[in-house]
Amino acid sequence: MRISEVSRRAGVSSRMLRYYEQLGLLTPAGRTASGYREYSEEDLVQLLRVEGLRALGLTLHQVAAALAASAPEPEELITDLIAQSRSRLKREQQLLDRLEQLRSATPNDWDDALAVMRLARGLESPRPDERIRAALSAGGPGALPEPALVSALLDESDLNAAGALRWALAQSSDGPGALAAAVTDPVASRRMRGILAVAVFPGAEAARMLEHALADDDAEVRSAAALALGQRGNEAAEAELMQLVARGPRDVEAAEALGVIAEDPVAAERIVADLAVRLEADRDLAGARARITQALGEFDTDQARSLLATLARDPDRAVARVAQYLSSRTD
């Protein structure tokens, strides 16, 4: 086949066919005595493969690399293209986020704009100490927009840097509303960071968000919400805190939170009665009775003291030792 016929059959211009030849993507099977290019059926198949790869979104450089390797399956090519597209979209999203941050910061001049961008870049540093410094500088009205702080917080794995970001967010916001999307994020670790940030804020709005998290699918998120609510004296956390006391490992924190709720005498009687029930119900849970006994030390009620006196003679030596110690401490 001459180049004109290949062009007609494949719908590719003769000029592009010659360009493909220069790139080594398509080499004619031979030439006529007059020097005209001659293409075989195999060349036409190769051309269709090149065009197919381009239709998938590959650059000519990527097409050449794909053809040079052992011919990949279409599924492999599509998977690779998906990964590349996601990477490109991520870079574009990062740029968009920075531009949104800059716009929402309403800089008065270039110095203000550059200061905002320096803070935003500092929060992206690979070094935790630099991220901490940036977070501590980002707190306060107008220093860095709330969306930028929330975005950095949800991706922050370093505990100290996350703490600095929670502080910065609390300084920059009148309430936890900026975290509304964070506490429903599909990723549990990000929801956890959002809940810990919500816990920094006082007031009814934060309490409602924490109460909603008590129904979260993730046990760690539920625990964090319950502990934060318990420290506020919120009775909605009682059931989850009871579970934490029984199963550990945050039983001490849970007992202390129950102790805060028990500052109300009515709540104290109710909680101690519930702990007494759990002493019997959780006999098969390793260490549960010892943890529950330890928790009783948080409550200064006649019922708690009576339970400890009985438990001091418990057949379980671990339970008896804890009860004896707590009883002697209150004598």
In angstroms, the CA 267 to CA 272 distance is 9
Given a contact cutoff of 8 angstroms between Cβ atoms, the answer to whether 197 and 158 are in contact is no
Residue 327: which H helix or E strand, with range?
Answer: helix 317-330
Cβ neighbour number for residue 32 with a 10 Å cutoff: 9
Give residue 196's pLDDT: 96
Instruction: For Cα atoms 275, 281, 285, give the angle at the middle one, nearest 5 degrees.
Output: 100
Residue 25 main-chain phi, psi, to 5 deg: -85, -25
Which of 131, 132, 135 lies closest to 144, judged by CA?
Answer: 135
Instruction: Transcribe 20-49 into DSSP letters.
Output: HHHHTS---SEE-TT--EE--HHHHHHHHH
Residue range 3-72 in CATH 3.40.50.2300: no
Three-state SS string over 231-269 comes to HCCCHHHHHHHHHHHHHCCCHHHHHHHHHHHCCCHHHHH
Give residue 112's pLDDT: 57
Tell me the residue length of the chain: 331
| 3-class DSSP assignment, residue 185 | coil
Burial of 307 (0-12, 13-18, 19+ CB in 10 A): buried
Give residue 125's pLDDT: 82
Domain boundaries, the chain: 3-72, 94-173, 174-230, 233-331
81-to-45, 66, 76, 78, 91 alpha-carbon distances in Å: 22, 12, 9, 5, 15
Output 21-26 pairs: Cβ under 8 A, ≥24 positions apart: 23/60, 23/64, 24/64, 25/50, 25/60, 25/63, 25/64, 25/67, 26/50
In angstroms, the CA 132 to CA 267 distance is 40
Instruction: For Cα atoms 16, 19, 25, give the angle at the middle one, nearest 5 degrees.
Output: 105
Give residue 104's pLDDT: 62
In angstroms, the CA 220 to CA 191 distance is 10
Cβ neighbour number for residue 146 with a 10 Å cutoff: 16
- Tokens 């005498």 sit on residue: 265
| pTM of the complete model beyond 0.75 | no
Structure tokens at 75: 């599924």
Give residue 113's pLDDT: 61
Give residue 54's pLDDT: 80
Give residue 299's pLDDT: 93
Torsion sign (Cα): 67, 70, 75, 79: negative
Give residue 152's pLDDT: 86
For the chain, 331 residues long, give each residue's pLDDT as a single digit of tens: 888 888 888 888 888 888 888 888 888 888 887 788 888 888 888 888 888 778 777 778 878 877 776 555 656 666 776 777 787 677 667 657 666 666 665 556 555 566 666 777 777 788 888 888 888 887 766 566 777 788 889 989 899 999 999 998 888 888 899 899 999 999 999 999 999 999 999 999 999 999 999 999 999 999 999 999 999 999 999 999 999 999 988 999 999 999 999 999 999 999 999 999 999 888 888 789 999 999 999 998 999 999 999 999 999 999 999 999 998 876 5
Structure tokens at 328: 């002697």
